[in-house]
Amino acid sequence: MASHRKSRTPGTRVAGIRTPALATAALTSVALLSQTANASPGEDRPSLEEVEKKVGDLYRQAESATEKYNAAKEKTTKQRKRVDTLLDDVAQRTQKLNEARAELGSYAAAQYRTGAGLPDTATFLLAETPQDIFDQRQVLDRMTGRQKAAVDDYVTQQTETMKKRQEATESLRTLTETQGDLKTAKATVQKKLADARELLSKLTAEEKARLAAIEKRKQEEAARKAAELARQQAEQEQAREEAAQQDGGASEGSGSGSTGATETPPADSSYGTKAEKALAFARAQIGKPYVWGATGPGSYDCSGLTQAAWKAAGVSLPRTTYDQVNAGTTVPVSQAQPGDLVFFYDDVTHVGIYIGNGMMIHAPKPGAYVREESIYYDGDSAIHSVVRPA
């Protein structure tokens, strides 16, 4: 589904939402200034709604780059550990190879001392007694068996060492590439944020006020949508309770009961217990700043917050939104329960943790703080999916 922003009609105000309206308004207005600075007087000036959308896209691009940075950083960490392990393994195998080589050398010296390289006729002629010939044959037979085992061991160690060296070389190459991806993603995020700071410096008070009004209308519309979802969920819960009571009565009277429910089964009590812990952690982070690539405890990005919240509940989630979206069971938005993860946009670049009544806790974007907000903060179409992680 495409992400877009529309002008919303006024509705009810969302209590408890901390919105950096000035920051949003500033960025949106400056985008207009930067686009029209060199425009001729006769050109039409974009509407504030169009400018606001473009700035929203700028935020999303920065957040998308942040998730790519997170993925590259995680991959780099894993790859570095693998390289270290392989290098240690190569060192150990090289030591074994040297030991096998030394053993072969000892056998070569023994052959020289015992005359093992002489022809059978010469060995017979040089022996003083038949018993000497017999004893020498016995020693050489035993030595030949051990020598063959030593040669086989040497060849095996040499082959395995070469293989591990090749693996280490390939892993080092992959690590270098991943570090390049990490550097590129970091540079992209920094550029987006630098552009935003530059645009902010050019805002006027009048533009801030006008764009703040647009932001306020969006918040009110989002609050109205959240209230509507809360009403629908309350009706669904009441219907389930009534159906359960009816099924209970039928079971008592006939010994059997059936339902025609097609909804996703409610989460079990163990999920509810874990979700409470995750939400308690998330609420304790409200007011902390969004910082790209951060996983706490002083600041978070969106996926860093959800990962940390569920970790507090004993559930391990992947680092990025791209992986978190596959770390559970997808449920309809209408059946979202507290603790579920709400993902946004077609490229799955944002996530929040659902708290009920159409609301979530999330780390919104650069310049903002962890806060409660309607899941409709960017419109219906921005919601990608809802996932129950445990």
Tell me the whole-structure pTM to 2 decimals: 0.61
Contact 305, 362 (CB under 8 A): yes
Each residue of 8-63: pLDDT tens digit?
Answer: 444 443 333 344 443 444 444 444 344 444 444 444 544 556 666 666 777 777 78
**Buried b or exposed e, range 61-99, using 16+ CB within 10 angstroms:** bbbbbbbbbbbbbbbbeebeebbeebeebbeebeebbee
Contact 30, 22 (CB under 8 A): no
Each residue of 367-383: pLDDT tens digit?
Answer: 899 999 999 999 999 99
Contact 5, 52 (CB under 8 A): yes
Catalytic residues, by residue number, are 302, 350, 362
| AA identity, residue 382 | A
Q: Please give the mean pLDDT across all residues of the chain.
A: 75
The answer for residues whose C-beta is within 8 angstroms of residue 21's C-beta and 6 or more apart is 212, 215, 216
| AA identity, residue 76 | T
Which range has highest mean pLDDT (205-214, 220-229, 268-277)?
A: 220-229
pLDDT (mean) for 264-293: 89
Residue given tokens 């035993």 in the structure block: 142
Give the Cα separation of 271 and 264 in Å (integer).
14
224 phi/psi in degrees, rounded to 5: -65, -45
CA-wise closest residue to 226 among 334, 388, 306: 334
Tell me which long-range contacts 177-184 makes (C-beta under 8 A, separation of at least 24): 178/72, 178/75, 178/76, 178/79, 179/76, 181/68, 181/72, 181/75, 182/69, 182/72, 182/73, 182/76
Each residue of 110-133: pLDDT tens digit?
Answer: 655 555 554 554 454 444 555 665
pLDDT (mean) for 143-158: 65
Give the Cα separation of 121 and 343 in Å (integer).
87
- pLDDT band for position 102 (cuts 50, 70, 90): confident
Q: What is the pLDDT of residue 114?
A: 56
CA-wise closest residue to 26 among 211, 288, 238: 211
324 by Cβ neighbours in 10 Å (0-12 / 13-18 / 19+) ranks as buried
Give the Cα separation of 340 and 390 in Å (integer).
9
| AA identity, residue 110 | A
